[in-house]
A and B are shown apart, each in its own frame.
Chain A
């Protein structure tokens, strides 16, 4: 999950972006961890994540929509998300994946939250459950430390980004970078982000649909559609520059 490092944006923007994931170490807590992983996912779902993923599940793969169905389905509005939040259908899909992923013994799973309160609740419940899994959080360090301490946890190991170096002139504008870096594998490319911003600004597509489309290439499911919707709205309304300082 190095793919959750280097998310860009102001502190205010990053306070809508909290990722928690569980994993296991070979030779320590991997064998027999399937039930613990399943329980971890159940706890995550209880706290209303905006995205989820499993190591052995590729989000959105294998879908073959019908030609006729595509003619009539909503093109302007989002379908999997509404106001950046997953729809009931999306949550049901996660539950299905949870069962399949749990059965196949997924080695890692994660959830993305759009508020510190949700993450705090998830940390508290995971700690109480004593799952024996390795649990990591990627967020603003001060928030992670505070929320962990509220559950009686002193952080164990820490990792910081020291920023981008080298040919940084190749990097795009701040809003494009902020959206793109929510997939650390680089699946949400700069050109796709630019296209979505352009279409939203031209009124050709809704913010929800654009956020949904930006979420789709992120195979792992660490992209935050709720935060993306807010950034796109800021850009559309011309308030992004003021908010990003």
Chain B
């Protein structure tokens, strides 16, 4: 008895009832497709979150006003809640060690107008340190220097998207653009960073000197020394926690916050944000995969059900096979193979559907398609195990049949 003969028996039985075999496998098809799709979507989401956060710059601490605090003491004044000042920036620069860059920013939405073209975007008021903090480079022209930033010269460094929207393919350096009626001159273009993980265009940026943007664009609602966000870049990843702690203590001191009182600002560490969001995505993925695995289990029960029917239906066949010399193990293997093939076939189809589905969903949701390399082996391994586990009992029943009884069955 050669083992491939048993494979042929199993294949013969499967193709003898194509419709029934297809329906039997359907449960596994759906289960495997769901597992593959869910893990791919989960992985895609995780990648997207990681890319987005990494795109902000590495070793970064973000200091922002804490808008939650003091909700009860609404004074209604202009710039309410904006608690960070130039003095905080100065203090961090001077007093905190292991800092690569301290970049204060303000920003406001504004309409840009140049030679008939219009473009509405967010204009950021920054210092040159911003490029270091956010890992940005100037592709052509130059960045304004510290002095220009302080003096509030009316110059801009723009992203590739802004340049294209306003001037097409023409070189934007030296051109004049009106930002909310205030004329500025373009002196540099940033290197392209492309789309972020969340589908944001990272080249849709306009950087201007902090003082100029603060007074001319963000407007009268803010005090003259207010900053909205301070980016602090630690020298190395190992310094991140220490720098965050030092910055927190220093600003508390600056703001004269007594021990026990809440901060009127918050610091966020990119590494911890990354870790937290990745953990959230991982939990989500595991949950989705668990739900998908349940459908795989249901598919297995479907196979067991049909295999039990097949054993009953083919009792006489089993008896005859035994009479002409089949051992119990031959019968067992034949039926187990049938179950495994049904399941494995379903797994293959499910894998194809799952991969195509994941790519499709990625396209629709502008999501990075991330079908893990182990999806194939995993899906096929799983469906094989499902076939073995759920085929075991029906096969055992077939092998235990008494040939005399089996041959007598109508």
Q: Do the two chains belong together in a single complex? A: no
Residues of B within 8 A of A (CB): none
